[in-house]
Copies of this chain bind each other. A is one copy, B any other.
Amino acid sequence: MKQRLGAVERLFPMPCVLVVGGTMEEADTLAVAWINVVSSTPPTIAMGLRKSRRTLDLIHSTGGTFTVNVPDTKLAPQVDYCGIVSGNTADKFAATGLTLVPAALVGTPIIDECPYNIECRTTHEVEVGEYIVVFGEIVECHAEERVLREGTTIAEMDALDPLVYCAGVREYRGLGPKLCDAYKIGNAFRPGELDG
């Protein structure tokens, strides 16, 4: 039996990343769950940021560069703090001990403690009420060598251990064990395979 809930802004699950705007000299970071890839031509990320966010001002101050830093589950307290507190009243890097290091192709730094980092340049913005949806072209990515499948750019999930945000219940979780392979398990429903 289903129940109607009204118009609630939830989807399950969500990532929970640290978005950095600014430069090595002046930067801020923000925990963002409303973010995902939206295109591969070119590789593009979109994220919804409240207009009042200092990180958004800093993104604008550099002509649109930002970095997306994927934390592991051990960083949940630091990430949560960066979602609770405003950069206008606190130095989030000093408070958490998170370390900025230079990126490769953009002037905005990445967070060293996050095992996966994405460098972006804003291509366009869309206003949706009190939010700005920022579209960023992915220009470079970085990963800790220990999380990569040897000789590839593929991150192994048990090593990466990305933080997961659950909306509504407001919980942080990690990933469960692997269930099955995508682009494979579904072949069971193809008529040919059912015969074989």
- Against B, the Cβ 8 Å flags (1 = close, 0 = not) of A87-111 are 0000000011000000010000000
Contact B173 A76 (CB under 8 A): no
A139 to chain B, nearest CB (A): 6
User: Which A residues, 140 to 196, have Cβ-Cβ distances below 8 Å to chain B?
Assistant: 140-145, 148-149, 153-157, 160, 162, 164-191
Q: Pick the contact of A153 from B8, B33, B96 — CB < 8 Å?
A: B8
Chain B residues with CB under 8 Å of A77's CB are 180, 185-186, 188-189
A157 to chain B, nearest CB (A): 5
Q: How far is it, in angstroms, between the C-alpha of A174 and the C-alpha of B188 when the chains are bound? A: 20
| A56 at interface, CB cutoff 8 A | no
Q: How far is it, in angstroms, between the C-alpha of A129 and the C-alpha of B130 when the chains are bound? A: 27
Contact A9 B180 (CB under 8 A): no
Contact A14 B15 (CB under 8 A): yes
Contact B7 A42 (CB under 8 A): yes
Chain B residues with CB under 8 Å of A4's CB are 104, 140-142
Contact A142 B3 (CB under 8 A): yes
Copies of the chain in the assembly: 2
| A116 at interface, CB cutoff 8 A | yes
Contact B176 A175 (CB under 8 A): yes
- Find the B residue at minimum CB distance from A90: B190
Contact A186 B130 (CB under 8 A): no
A80 to chain B, nearest CB (A): 3
- Find the B residue at minimum CB distance from A171: B178
Whether A186 touches B42, Cβ cut-off 8 Å, given contacts A143-B3, A167-B37, A169-B157, is no
Residues on A close to B: CB < 8 A?
A: 1-15, 17, 33-48, 68, 70, 73, 76-85, 95-96, 104, 116-118, 123-124, 126, 128-131, 133, 135, 137-145, 148-149, 153-157, 160, 162, 164-191
Q: Which 10 A-B pairs have the closest CB atoms?
A: A41-B129, A80-B186, A38-B48, A81-B186, A9-B43, A39-B128, A39-B131, A174-B176, A12-B162, A5-B153
